[in-house]
Amino acid sequence: MPRVSFTANLQRHLDCPPAEVAGRTVRAALDAVFAVNPWLRSYLLDDQGRLRRHVNVFVNDRPVADRARLADPVADDDEIFVFQALSGG
């Protein structure tokens, strides 16, 4: 099963430990995480279900191509990494 991990920055604000979840797309994997932690959905996705501008998702070492539908495929041994873009100085 794909593994979904979150940066320590996100974990400070929300309970989001790494999880192995079922899913063949990024959307399906994230939906499995949201089923356990529904608060996380609104933090990562906008009201249209797209990734918020300040959130980035990678599958292994490549950024997701489909930020709207999150339809990028994932395999059982893939790592989905979610992080919040930081700015400031």
Model confidence pLDDT, tens digit, residues 41-53:
998 999 999 999 9
Task: Give how many domains the chain has, as a whole number.
Answer: 1
**In sequence order, what E strands does 3-86 have?**
3-6, 19-20, 55-59, 62-63, 79-84
DSSP state for residue 48 in the 8-state scheme: T
CATH code, 18: 3.10.20.30
Please report whether residue 43 resides in a domain.
Answer: yes
Tell me the residue range of the domain where 68 lies.
3-84
pTM of the shown model: 0.90
Model confidence pLDDT, tens digit, residues 16-35:
899 999 999 999 999 999 99
Please report whether residue 89 resides in a domain.
Answer: no
